[in-house]
Amino acid sequence: MRYLTVVFLVLFCIQKGASQTFELGGFVGGANVIGDVGSTTYVNPNTLAFGGVFKWNRSQRHSFRFSAIIAKAEGNDADSKEGRRKQRGYSFQNNIKEFSAGLEYTFWEFNLNSGAPAAAPYLYHRNHLFY
């Protein structure tokens, strides 16, 4: 397992030292639902979620970002700590697909190549499409 982890890190963490006009990335994580059915634990991922991000840096100040996330949402009252939910016995399962597009605007320019720590606030507005 350690060998596989090292190979993964070497293959996916190599960066090219050049300006980035286009960025492409992926992610894997967990998903959970907080609602009327299922567990009442706020952060308790019980299913797999994965997705991808594409970002087009139009200038140093603004960029367009597109993302897609696919997750399975499920809840079961048997997983709850509340007796009334367990007694009720509801459950559900659904697939969620989210696509979004947005504009990212950075308020001031900064140089990531200076070697000094850099930070800048930014505004991100996106539109969703769920199905």
Residue-wise pLDDT for 84-129, tens only, equals 888 998 999 999 999 999 998 888 776 666 777 777 777 777 777 7
Predicted confidence band of residue 66 (pLDDT cuts 50, 70, 90): very high
- Residue 28 confidence (pLDDT) above 90: yes
In this prediction, residues 27-53 reach a mean pLDDT of 89
DSSP class of residue 59 equals S
Q: How far apart are the first and last CA of the chain?
A: 36
Domain boundaries, the chain: 20-110+118-130
- Residue 24 confidence (pLDDT) above 70: yes
Q: Are strands 47-57 and 62-76 parallel, antiparallel or unpaired?
A: antiparallel
